[in-house]
Amino acid sequence: MTKTPNQHSDTEKDVNTSQKRLDSEDAQQVLEHIKMLLSKQSLVQNLVHQQEEHNTESGALVEELLKRQQHVELENFLRPLHPADIAYILESLPHEERMQVWELVSSQHDGDILLEVDDWVREDLIATMNREDLLAATETLDTDELADLAPDLPAEIVAEVQKGLTEKERNQLLAVLGYEKDTVGAIMDFEMVRVREDITLEVVLRYLRRLDYLPDHTDQLFIIDREEHLLGVLSLADLLINDPESHVKDLMKTEFFSLTPNESDTVATSAFERYDLVSAPVVDNENRLLGRVTINAVVDVIQEDSQEQDLARAGLAEEDTFSSVAHAVRNRTPWLLINLCTASTASFIASQFEGTVSQIVILAFLMSIVAGIGGNSGNQTLTLVIRAMAMGRINVKSIMPMLKRETYVTLLVGLTGSIMAAFFAWLVSDSYKIAIVMVTAMICNMLIGAFLGVLIPLVRAKFNKDPAVGSSVLLTFATDALGFFIFLGLATIFLL
């Protein structure tokens, strides 16, 4: 597909660089309007096709005129939107409608939009773009932005883009691409303001005034020596409120938080949350300034990690909401099959107590409560542990303290809940023995759920596996199977 060339004037382009941003409600309204325009366009085309059966030549002419009219209306509606809002629209449309909108988006915003959309939509859009479109989309991007797109671009495009970079930019791009995903180096930004310590604030201010713009989220300047070693930081506030004749070295802060490129990006997210940072320098082992991490990159990491964890707990990989049925089936089937096997195992365990259940039928109704409460209790612990691991607050060494804490909490909560469940069991069965079995089984299964809620994600992390992937499936299997076994086993021993 060839994108519509940008035919706007320079004046229009300048205006479009500051598109209005939409809040959540406005974005929903814009999306609905886009859908209405696309539906209207489809309806017109269908009517024209019906007329073509009677007059082929005039029908084709009318169709072309109406199509152009609809395209102009849709293009004018998209033009003032911010790239992030266009990305939201593209993510919310099925493939065919997504391509119709993408074709009408001004080509000058292609790169920014590709950076904003989720990975699965980006792959879909890039697959439809030819070589010229891809080169045009990447030519205005910064080095760190190119690094974000590079994994999804064809290798020949990446090679072609590198030819247009300066040697410094090329080295920066290769450096970022050399860092593993989910590390600080992979989200590092190279645009920053660096100054020397032996100059006055007045010199710094004159230098800043000569710049065309300040890099986004510039809240501090980085003080370096001639070998690029980071000596300190100078906040913009200190720069503005102090005497212009003061020297940088007298006002810079030599104690500051810094990151290294090979650290996990969760270290950055935790630090930004803890210290309310806007930016933080990234240095190598010799304390040379390599780049910086900014708050917008950290927010992206937090959002991406949150989405991945939500999907992973259900055993899903990232999936296009409007992907083909075949793709969705391939994505969802593996863990569903595992869940089927685990559920079958739990049912098999329950079937081994057929004699007990046939003699005390009420047990068949009560055992689901034991299994369900154990699963809910375990999922609470599981969610807490996975979140703490994502924030870098606990690791494998924290197993024993976490187990001890969750044991105490579960016992206290379990006693309260099990007493209520026992009272219910006594009411429906008129048997205090069943109530006692209910109390014991519930507390035991809740303790098992809490134990596994701590153990499963930490063990998976120990073997370099995503702690969230399928954890809830494994936990539910254990609490169902063991819940049935404990409850029916105790019933067999004490009630028969």
**Domains of the chain and any CATH numbers:** 10-140 (no CATH), 194-313 (3.10.580.10), 325-495 (1.10.357.20)
Question: Checking DSSP bridges between strand 194-195 and strand 279-283, what pairing results, if any?
Answer: unpaired
Residue 118 three-state SS: coil
Q: Is the dihedral of CA 309, 314, 317, 323 positive or negative?
A: negative
Q: Which two tokens stand for residue 293?
A: 């991490």
What pLDDT is recorded for position 80? 85
Q: Is it the case that residue 7 has pLDDT exceeding 90?
A: no
CA distance 488 to 357: 8
The pLDDT score that the predictor gives to residue 13 is: 38
**Average pLDDT, integer, range 444-465:** 89
Is the pLDDT score of 68 beyond 50? yes
Residue 95 pLDDT greater than 60, yes or no: yes
Measured from the Cβ of residue 75, the count of other Cβ atoms closer than 10 Å reads 15
* Residue 65 pLDDT class (50, 70, 90 cuts): low
Confidence of residue 252 (pLDDT cuts 50, 70, 90): very high
CA–CA separation, 210 and 220 (whole Å): 17
Q: How does pLDDT run across 11-22, given as a tens digit for each residue?
A: 333 434 445 567
Please compute the mean of the pLDDT values over residues 442-449 and round it to a whole number.
Answer: 94
Find the range with the poorest average confidence among 44-53, 108-117, 164-173, 483-492.
44-53
Percent of the chain having pLDDT more than 70?
85
Say whether pLDDT at 8 is over 60. Answer: no
Confidence grade of residue 253 (pLDDT, cut at 50, 70, 90): very high
Rounded to whole angstroms, how far apart are CA atoms 230 and 250?
15
pLDDT tens, 318-369? 666 666 677 677 777 777 787 788 888 888 898 899 888 888 888 988 998 8
Distances (CA, A) of 105 to 27, 40, 142: 17, 19, 21
Q: Residue 123 is which amino acid?
A: E
What is the structure's pLDDT at 401? 85
Give the pLDDT confidence of 187-214 residue by residue, as tens digits. 999 999 999 999 999 999 999 999 999 9
Which run of H or of E encompasses 224? strand 220-224
**CA quadruple 261, 264, 266, 270: dihedral sign:** negative
The CA-atom distances, in angstroms, between 282 and each of 204, 290, 293 are: 22, 6, 7
Q: Which helix or strand (DSSP H or E) is residue 394 part of?
A: none
Q: What is the DSSP letter of 419?
A: H
364-399: pLDDT as tens digits:
889 988 999 998 989 899 888 887 887 667 777 778
Average pLDDT, the chain: 84
Q: What is the predicted pLDDT for the residue at 339?
A: 77
pTM beyond 0.85, yes or no:
no
- Coil, strand or helix: which one is 489? helix
Which two tokens mark 392?
Answer: 């870098």
8 A C-beta contact, residue 235 and residue 260: no
Q: What is the pLDDT of residue 6?
A: 47
Query: In the predicted model, what is the mean pLDDT of residues 429-449?
Result: 92
